[in-house]
Amino acid sequence: MASPDRMTSRISEFDLIARIRARVAARDDVRVGIGDDAALTAPPPGRWLAIAMDTLNVGVHFPDDTAAADIGWKALAVNLSDLAAMGAEPAWCTLSLSLPNAEAAWLDGFLDGFLELASRHRVALIGGDTTRGPLSICVAVHGFVDPQGALRRDAARVGDDVWVTGTLGDAAAALHEWRAGGARSEALRARLDRPTPRVAAGRALGGLAHACIDLSDGLLADLGHVCRASRVGTEIALTHLPLSSTLSIAHPPALTQRWQTAGGDDYELCFTAPRTARLAIEDAMSVCDTPATRIGRIVAGSGEVVVRDAEGELWTPTEQGYSHFVE
């Protein structure tokens, strides 16, 4: 850990930028990186550019006891997850940090998490800014996608299977445990603090899947976006929803089912694909070491998301997902 001296070390804005710049990795397609008015990059010919931007605010998007390194990881992860949902290959990112004060140790920790994830996906940090203000982290990411391989929300078709990667509900369970203040599982908390953006899976699904979305607001809410955009409906089998063994042991089904369907922050991919692609999808997911489960199918409709229980009866969720402004 940082020495007491470093913990209280305040640094100027210019030193702060220099501290970031010193740790940033290079990429051949970055012509001018941090340190000018704008970054200059050379996009590859013939590919589209995927651009996403997401902000994390303290107390809204992460508990206030979250470690700096985890905040750094998550700020980039939620953005890479958006690129994954488009089937894009990540390339560059910019970072805007609003900090109540500029502590060297906090910044170093933040960069540890942020740059560790950036390095795994060969993402170069090319610019941004630092300002004084309540803790807030805004990240924009840029990636490349072949025009024929882009995954969109509005491409689901009647008869498609509905799939999800990984397991559902762990992050919501961790948030519940944190709020309740009782026993807490470190494994669940890691899922909340260090989500895994499914970048390799998203890229592998280009040309195989029809529609795709990443699960940030909860399965039912996010599937609702896909169904409305695609002008279809969907039927989901409650018992098919993937569940981690940690979660199944730690909490009763009444809670785990609520978190699997309506909990946010999973950052798994939910995608639809024709039945004929089942084997190809299983192969592709196996190659990139990403579990994927069929959880239902796309039906005719206009945005309806229906969940059926083990007996085939309609199951009514207790919440419909997460919206920042609805209290």
List binders of its own copies among 188-227 (CB under 8 A).
Answer: 212-214
Among 24, 51, 190, 280, binds its own copies (CB under 8 A): 51
Separation between Cα atoms, residue 301 and residue 45, nearest integer Å? 39
In the complex, minimum distance from the CB of residue 262 to its own copies, in angstroms, rounded to a whole number: 16
Q: Contact region for its own copies (CB under 8 A) — 9-17, 166-174, 250-258, 286-294?
A: 9-17
**Binding status of residue 52 toward its own copies by CB under 8 A:** yes
**Binding status of residue 326 toward its own copies by CB under 8 A:** yes
In the complex, minimum distance from the CB of residue 125 to its own copies, in angstroms, rounded to a whole number: 11
**Residues 6 or more apart in contact with residue 122 via CB below 8 angstroms:** 25, 27, 90, 91
**Binding status of residue 126 toward its own copies by CB under 8 A:** yes
What residues between 22 and 41 interact with its own copies by CB under 8 A?
A: 31-32, 35-41
Residue with tokens 């409709």: 301
What residues between 225 and 244 interact with its own copies by CB under 8 A?
A: 229
What residues between 58 and 77 interact with its own copies by CB under 8 A?
A: 59-61
Residue with tokens 């941004």: 128
Name which of 131 and 286 has its Cβ closer to its own copies. 131
Residue 58: which of 176, 115, 137 has the closest Cα? 137
**Binding status of residue 12 toward its own copies by CB under 8 A:** yes
Among 109, 113, 127, 296, binds its own copies (CB under 8 A): 127
**Binding status of residue 320 toward its own copies by CB under 8 A:** no
User: What does the per-residue mask of binding to its own copies show for 134-173, with x meaning CB under 8 A?
Assistant: x-x-x-xxxx-x-x--x-xxx-------------------
In order of 100, 153, 228, 289, the CA distances from 158 in angstroms are 50, 14, 13, 28
User: What does the per-residue mask of binding to its own copies show for 76-115, with x meaning CB under 8 A?
Assistant: -----xxx-xx-x---x-xxx-xx-xx-------------
Among 131, 239, 248, 302, binds its own copies (CB under 8 A): 131
In the complex, minimum distance from the CB of residue 12 to its own copies, in angstroms, rounded to a whole number: 5
Total residues interacting with its own copies, rule: CB under 8 A: 73
Query: Which long-range contacts does 176-185 make (Cβ < 8 Å, 24+ apart)?
Result: 176/255, 176/259, 178/63, 178/65, 185/246, 185/250
Handedness of CA 133, 94, 268, 151 (dihedral sign): positive
**Binding status of residue 54 toward its own copies by CB under 8 A:** yes
The radius of gyration of the chain's CA atoms, rounded to the nearest angstrom, is 20
In the complex, minimum distance from the CB of residue 300 to its own copies, in angstroms, rounded to a whole number: 22
Separation between Cα atoms, residue 46 and residue 133, nearest integer Å? 40
Show the CA angle centred on residue 25, arms to residues 24 and 30, nearest 5°.
Answer: 105
| Structure-block tokens of residue 277 | 């692609």
Calculated CA dihedral for residues 54, 20, 7, 2, nearest 10 degrees? 100
In the complex, minimum distance from the CB of residue 321 to its own copies, in angstroms, rounded to a whole number: 10
Name which of 79 and 234 has its Cβ closer to its own copies. 79
3-state secondary structure of 323: coil
Q: Are 40 and 164 in contact (CB under 8 A)?
A: no
The bridge status of strand 124-132 relative to strand 89-99 is parallel
Among 21, 132, 157, 231, binds its own copies (CB under 8 A): 132
**Binding status of residue 9 toward its own copies by CB under 8 A:** no
